[in-house]
Amino acid sequence: MSKRFLNWLILTIRTVALIPGKVNFTRLSRYGGRTAKTFASNFKTPVWMKVNIGMAQDCFGPSDDMAVAIDPSFISKSGSLTYGIGRFWSGVAQRVKRGLEIMAIGAISLSKHTCVMLGAVQSPDFRTLESERHMSMLDWYMALVRSKATELLSLTIFWSRMPFSPNMSL
């Protein structure tokens, strides 16, 4: 992580703590002294999984037994212009519903019985997967885990027996 990004991260954390109410890029720019575009572009950097893994390691400690968990989560959403809107399984409703889905990845401390969120990726809808990528939802979940495997293996040894290589690509 560069010193410039680290300074930006510290500024962002301090600014989020100061903002009353909702936090968005416009409010971050108003209270943080940078443009909304600066905040948005820094949040797009691929370093966040590594930052969250570092925080999980600090939170749990090196002696904790940790495992990695994934959870595809349904988000209720209406409208026709929202990117990725489709039909996804809702475990709460026990049926397929219209909305969005994210694949959440977390680190679980087996001794402390707690979980730290490492990241989330929005799932594409089933029709897009079939027509553009020729994949099923299960293929998508597996490809996502494979793409993050190298970073996640630094956190736990429980993945070392998985039948896929972390070098496999999407």
User: How far is Cα 119 from Cα 7, in angstroms, rounded to an integer?
Assistant: 21
Radius of gyration of the chain (CA): 18
- At residue 153, the pLDDT reads 82
Predicted pLDDT at 15: 94
Closest CA to 84 of 118, 129, 43, 119: 129
pLDDT at 23 over 80: yes
User: In this predicted structure, what is the pLDDT of residue 68?
Assistant: 87
Indicate whether 166 pLDDT > 50: no
Characterise 2 by phi-psi region: left (phi > 0), alpha (psi -120 to 50), beta (else). Answer: beta
Q: Output the six-digit token pair for 123.
A: 């799932």
Does pLDDT of 37 surpass 80? Answer: yes
161 pLDDT higher than 60: no
- Considering the entire predicted model, what is its pTM? 0.71
What is the SS3 assignment for 107? strand
Q: Cβ(94)–Cβ(151) under 8 Å?
A: no
Indicate the length of the chain as a whole number: 170
C-alpha 55/C-alpha 119 separation (Å) is 12
pLDDT confidence band for 168 (50 / 70 / 90): very low
Q: Please, what is the Cα angle at 84 between 163 and 142, to 5 degrees?
A: 0
> 157 pLDDT band (50/70/90 cuts)?
low
- Report whether pLDDT(57) > 50: yes
Percent of the chain with pLDDT over 90: 25
Least confident of 64-73, 116-125, 137-146, 152-161: 152-161
Averaged pLDDT score across all residues of the chain: 84
- Alpha-carbon span 76 to 101, nearest angstrom: 9
**Integer Cα distance of 86 and 106 in angstroms:** 24
Token couple for 77: 């959403």
Q: What is the mean pLDDT of residues 94-113?
A: 89
Residues 87-97, mean pLDDT to the nearest whole number: 90
The two structure tokens encoding residue 3? 């010193």
